[in-house]
Amino acid sequence: MIFTLLSCLLLNTAVQAALDTWTNGTTEECVCEAFLPNGTFPNGELILLESTSIEINRKLEIEISKVEMYEVQIKVYIAKIVNLTVLIESMEADPDSYNELHIEEVKIKIKQVEALIVELQTSLQITSAVLITIREQIDVMISALTRLEITYDRNLVLVTRRQYIILQQKLLECERRHNEIFNPNIGVCSHGGINRISKPIISQLNANLNSGYKYGGWGKDSSPVSGSENMYWYAGAADTLFTTVTLYSDYYKLIIRQAFQTNQLYVYNKYDWRGSGNNYIVRSNAVYYQYNNPFRMAKFNLTSATVETKVLPEATTRFSYHYSPNQNLDFAADETGLWVTYATEASNGKLVLGKIDENSLELREVWQTSVFKPSVGNVFMVCGVLYATRSVDSKTEEIFYTFNTHTRRETYVSIQFEKFQDSYVYLDYNPTDQKLYMYNNGYYVNYHVWFNQNDTPKLNHEN
Concatenating the DSSP letter of every residue in 225-280 gives: PTT-TT-EEEEEESSSEE-EEEEESSHHHHHTT--SEEEESEETTTEE--EEEEEE
β pairing state of 232-237 and 244-248: antiparallel
Q: How many CB atoms sit inside 10 A of residue 183's CB?
A: 17
Report whether 429 contacts 201 (CB < 8 A).
no
Length of the chain in terms of residues written: 463
In the chain, what are the domains?
1-38 (no CATH), 43-179 (no CATH), 189-451 (2.115.10)
Q: Give the span between the Cα atoms of 374 and 381, in whole angstroms.
A: 18
Report whether 450 contacts 195 (CB < 8 A).
yes
What per-residue confidence (pLDDT) applies to 203? Answer: 78
Report whether 316 contacts 352 (CB < 8 A).
no
What per-residue confidence (pLDDT) applies to 140? Answer: 74
Measured CA distances, 365 to 212, 340, 357 (Å)? 39, 11, 9
Read off the pTM. 0.66
Q: Is 250 exposed, middle or buried (0-12, 13-18, 19+ CB in 10 A)?
A: middle
Instruction: Estimate to the nearest angstrom the gap between the alpha carbon of 48 and the chain centroid.
Output: 27
Measured CA distances, 46 to 11, 204, 265 (Å)? 31, 18, 41
What per-residue confidence (pLDDT) applies to 40? Answer: 53
Mutual orientation of helices 154-182 and 43-93 as an angle, nearest 10°?
A: 10
Q: How many CB atoms sit inside 10 A of residue 458's CB?
A: 11
Beta bridge partners of 295: none
Q: Give the span between the Cα atoms of 74 and 200, in whole angstroms.
A: 31
What per-residue confidence (pLDDT) applies to 74? Answer: 75
pLDDT tens, N- to C-terminus, the chain (463 residues): 333 333 333 333 333 433 343 334 444 444 343 333 444 556 666 667 767 777 777 777 777 767 777 767 777 777 778 788 888 888 888 887 788 787 888 888 788 777 777 777 777 777 777 777 777 777 777 677 666 666 655 554 554 556 556 666 666 666 666 665 555 577 788 888 999 998 888 878 899 888 899 999 999 999 999 989 999 999 999 999 999 999 999 887 888 889 999 999 999 889 999 999 999 999 999 999 999 889 999 999 999 999 999 999 899 999 999 998 899 999 999 999 999 999 999 999 999 999 999 999 999 999 999 999 999 999 999 999 999 999 999 899 999 999 999 999 999 999 999 988 888 999 999 999 899 999 999 999 999 898 987 544 344 443 3
Beta strands across the sheet bearing 244-248: 215-220, 232-237, 244-248, 261-264
What per-residue confidence (pLDDT) applies to 359? Answer: 92
